[in-house]
């Protein structure tokens, strides 16, 4: 049993190995990590350090080579692919560096899509109303009828955040969510993410090399050292993006 029974996310001696012919490439080795429910955690590390690989394993998108992953106490190792897919659809939200909006759908339709395809879905009118409310929350009230090609990078990421929230997930996994944004847009997306755990009490796990995200998180974990570095102090200038 884990020492932290309230953990929303747990990695227990997680490893990941890839093979290139006869050559072994160890990407992750004996990772132990625990994130509490309602906590905002940033995993920091340079490119190539295995951050995205770890996030994919923790969210059930990829399998580890060893160790165990638990979400809300449930072991992903004991789940089949269909069970994991249901868990992701009902419990988890994803925010990626590359927004993955469907080009043929409007921003509103992109946000609605996860609920439209969910089992036992609600009436389309109710889904549309919820999607519109989320677009308003992320500052896109007037942009719902626009296609992704008509939105800026920051607007596309806002739409992606709204889409991630449409199922009211308990856990949000974020992969370099400010990686493709300029400084001002990155600051605004960082503020939105902070609201999700500080006000909405969602569990938010962000892998990033952006120290602005680290500064707003409850805790920071260094993937290179495997150590918690605590909460980073934010100065007034850093908080407003100057």
Q: Is residue 25 part of a domain?
A: no
28 has a pLDDT exceeding 90: yes
CATH of the domain at 100: 3.40.50.300
Chain-centroid distance of CA 199 in Å reads 17
Residue of 175 and 184 predicted with greater confidence: 175
pLDDT in the model for residue 88: 84
Q: Is residue 214 part of a domain?
A: yes
H helix or E strand, kind and range, residue 26: strand 23-36
- Other CB atoms within a 10 A radius of the CB of residue 67 amount to 18
| Residue recorded with tokens 């260094």 | 222
pLDDT in the model for residue 230: 62
Q: Is residue 99 part of a domain?
A: yes
pLDDT in the model for residue 180: 80
Give me the domain span that covers residue 127: 38-64+79-239
Residue of 150 and 123 predicted with greater confidence: 150
Q: Which tens digits make up the pLDDT trace of 133-181?
A: 999 999 999 999 999 999 999 999 999 999 999 999 999 999 988 888 8
Q: Is residue 32 part of a domain?
A: no
Q: How many domains does the chain have?
A: 1
Q: Is residue 190 part of a domain?
A: yes
Q: Quick check: helix, strand or coil at residue 10? A: strand
5 has a pLDDT exceeding 70: no
pTM for the model: 0.86
Q: Is residue 4 part of a domain?
A: no
Spatial distance between the Cα atoms of 40 and 25, rounded to a whole number of angstroms: 30
Q: Is residue 11 part of a domain?
A: no
pLDDT in the model for residue 3: 45
Which residues make beta-bridge pairs with 66?
Answer: 15
């Amino acid at each position: 049993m884990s020492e932290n029974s309230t953990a929303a996310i747990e990695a227990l001696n997680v490893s990941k190995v890839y093979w290139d012919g006869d050559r072994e490439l160890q990407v992750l080795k004996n990772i132990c990590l625990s994130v509490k429910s309602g906590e905002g955690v940033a995993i920091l590390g340079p490119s190539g350090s295995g951050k995205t690989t770890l996030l994919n394993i923790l969210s059930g998108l990829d399998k580890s080579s060893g160790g165990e992953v638990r979400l809300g106490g449930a072991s992903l190792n004991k789940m089949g692919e269909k069970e994991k897919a249901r868990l992701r659809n009902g419990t988890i939200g994803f925010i990626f560096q590359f927004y993955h909006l469907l080009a043929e759908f409007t921003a509103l339709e992109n946000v609605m899509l996860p609920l439209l395809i969910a089992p036992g879905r609600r009436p389309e009118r109710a889904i549309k109303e919820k999607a519109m409310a989320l677009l308003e929350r992320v500052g896109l009230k007037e942009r719902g009828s626009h296609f992704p090609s008509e939105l800026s990078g920051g607007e596309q990421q806002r739409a992606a955040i709204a889409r991630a929230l449409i199922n009211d997930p308990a856990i949000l996994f974020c992969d370099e969510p400010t990686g493709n944004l300029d400084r001002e847009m990155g600051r605004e997306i960082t503020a939105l993410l902070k609201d999700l755990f500080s006000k909405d009490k969602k569990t938010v796990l962000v892998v990033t090399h952006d120290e602005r995200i680290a500064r707003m998180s409850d805790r920071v974990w260094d993937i290179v050292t495997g150590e918690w570095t605590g909460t980073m102090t934010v100065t007034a200038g850093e908080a407003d993006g100057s």
